[in-house]
Chains A and B, each alone.
Chain A
């Protein structure tokens, strides 16, 4: 109750601050111009913190040096892109001029491939099961969804403890007679668990989208199928999955875009990309080039951002195109 009172009091104060200039503007410029006044705060914030940075990012990508301010930076043309993209053999990051970038690129691609497939499968199976008339459905839905709300830092720490040398998983390993492992210091295990944690964290969100799609499928179709004595398997592949295709596509594209941007939970879980560079991803590369230690190579970081932005743009355009084709 106190919180509610506090909120409404804050609201009153806010109103008194905003009301006077808004009404003054209306008196001077008339009602016709009021929509722009309502849009102004939003658009100004967008301009300063989204559009201006995009413009600067592109500008940055063509400059060198370590100074933060654009005016103080030497123009270097396509040098940053050349540095990032020149490579003896793209499959072997060691032969590239910027080997860390290519390590990050390949790590990210691997992560995206594994994470998209695993999350999609787990979310689909869960959604199909939760769509059945099963006992305590609401409870299970809430249970699977709960991790989505947690902070990536908290998730990283909880799993780090779970996978610790003295952690619960090793205790279980010992119980069944398998020698204990230091999971997060082993390249293979740590990569595996970054995917596991990511699936654990996000699958509830995608399950929810798929569940919404499943519940929109008309019940009559299933009744007709059961009259025709169609096998459950046939029903799944001939009715459920085709009708779920639009939702599956949305989930697929969202998953791709989100997976490319992996950072927070992997950063905490692997102590910033370890062991070595086994879990260093593109966003991490950008962060480290720009803000990590004292590198401050903003040009290189921005060039990598621009490349990443282009990839995401292409992914989004594919999504829009496919979405349109499915509707027609």
Chain B
């Protein structure tokens, strides 16, 4: 099959109708709409501070070429100049109105006066790595990062254990009130954070966890979605396995830990991915709980940073990109599991 016919195959072989064309316009347009803002922000994060607000913007990060010329203290910028019908590269000494004083960088003589209309700056591609390295050293970026990693890892581990235990109880035991407990847990699905955020903060203050990372972690652990997902999965595990283990005098916890948990691994993996994404991206709740800078997570830190340094876009974009990177990498590798996981459980 040649590439053209491969690309243009449709439901009815050999014919491209108008709906196919429109579909392609929609898909390509949508892909561009997703990619352009993200890629644009990424390219911008590599631009030097002087270049980033230039309008109209250039696509790639560039900066003016500068060169040290004998007889001048500071390095001078290099420009493309046409003198006597000849293209030459010259260094600009100063600019007065519409005239620029230029010298030849190789053998600087007396400056030549040139019309500024006829000159263009010589630029070269540069990657402003300092946008990335400066926040690491000068601002609290590393602290934010450490806090985010701590919250994400600890909250995910606890989410998995606590909810798996609850799901085990609700799927493998018959006891009085089991349905009631399940319904109560599931009913909390419809209570949004916004409704309880004020009193939940009071509780956090009451238990002494205000401005503490544990105050961010603890309220997120018990999750109705997680209980539901894990319970559904555990229901498919045959009860005979448990009976056999009981005959061998295994303790109930041992049954849970050594038999049920390993068999639930696929569901736990899906939940782990989501938990990591949720906790990494959390904003409103950490914003409420955390007050001091050294406790900020990445998202809260980014928000605070953009408020304080709204002109320093080169730093903001670089830090934005650093926080977007782990999620993108996770998605690239686990894209299939994430999308089927969401479609299967309606999680978000």
Contacts and interface: CB of A to CB of B under 8 A. Distances in A.
B281 A68 contact: no
Contact of A56 (B52, B202, B344): B202
A interface, over-half SS: helix
B175 A32 contact: yes
Interface in B216-232: 218-219, 221-222, 227
B55 A171 contact: yes
A46 B218 contact: no
B57 A166 contact: yes
A168 interface: yes
B244 interface: no
A168 B348 contact: no
Contact of B30 (A34, A143, A149, A313): A143
Interface stretch (A74-82, A95-103, A131-139, A238-246): A131-139
A312 B190 contact: yes
Interface in A262-306: 263-264, 267-268, 271, 282-283, 286-287, 290-291, 298, 301-302, 305-306
B210 to A, nearest CB: 10
B92 interface: no
A168 B169 contact: no
Which of B157, B201, B313, B343 is packed against the most chain A CB atoms within 10 Å? Answer: B343
Contact of A151 (B34, B195, B313, B327): B327
B139 interface: no
B203 A134 contact: no
Nearest to A291: B288
Contacts of A93: none
B199 A135 contact: no
A133 B157 CA distance: 40
A52 B200 CA distance: 8
Interface stretch (A83-91, A112-120, A154-162): A154-162
A301 B283 contact: no
Identify the interface centre among A43, A158, A160, A200: most chain B CB within 10 Å of its CB: A158
Size class of the A contact interface (CB-based, 8 Å): 35 or more
A316 interface: yes
Contacts of A36: 169, 175
Interface stretch (B78-86, B101-109, B120-128, B315-323): B315-323
A39 B205 contact: no
B205 A68 contact: yes
A286 B30 contact: no
Contacts of A312: 190, 192, 195
Contacts of A291: 201, 288
B218 A49 contact: yes
A151 B346 contact: no
A147 B31 CA distance: 11
A51 to B, nearest CB: 8
A15 B257 contact: yes
B202 to A, nearest CB: 6
A208 B252 CA distance: 39
A283 B205 CA distance: 21
Interface residues of B, number: 99
Given A146-B331, A159-B37, A308 B194 contact: yes
B196 interface: yes
A153 B302 contact: yes
A23 interface: yes
A128 to B, nearest CB: 9
Nearest to A164: B313
Interface string B304-339: 001100000100110010011001101100010011
A111 interface: no
Contact of B343 (A70, A211, A261): A211
Contacts of A309: 191-192, 195
A125 B25 CA distance: 12
A321 interface: no
B317 A290 contact: no
A19 B328 CA distance: 37
Contacts of B344: 212
A10 interface: yes
B19 A232 contact: yes
A10 B200 CA distance: 29
B194 A283 contact: yes
A141 B280 CA distance: 23
The interface centre, meaning the residue of A39, A254, A290 with most chain B CB atoms within 10 A of its CB, is A39
Contacts of A92: none
A143 B302 contact: no
A41 interface: yes
A153 B221 CA distance: 22
B169 A19 contact: no
B115 interface: no
Contacts of B277: 149
B23 A168 contact: no
A275 to B, nearest CB: 15
Closest CB pairs A-B (n = 3): A56-B199, A151-B281, A42-B166
16 contacts: A43-B222, A45-B218, A49-B219, A129-B26, A134-B23, A140-B30, A147-B34, A149-B281, A153-B299, A161-B37, A161-B41, A166-B53, A166-B55, A171-B55, A286-B198, A312-B190
Interface of B: 6-7, 9-11, 19, 23, 26-27, 30-31, 33-38, 40-41, 44, 52-57, 157, 161-163, 165-166, 168-170, 173, 175, 178, 181, 184-185, 188, 190-203, 205-207, 218-219, 221-222, 227, 251-254, 256-257, 277, 280-281, 283-284, 288, 299, 302-303, 306-307, 313, 316-317, 320, 323-324, 327-328, 330-331, 335, 338-339, 342-344, 346, 348
Given A7-B157, A36-B175, A157-B320, 6 more contacts: A35-B178, A41-B165, A46-B185, A50-B196, A153-B302, A162-B41
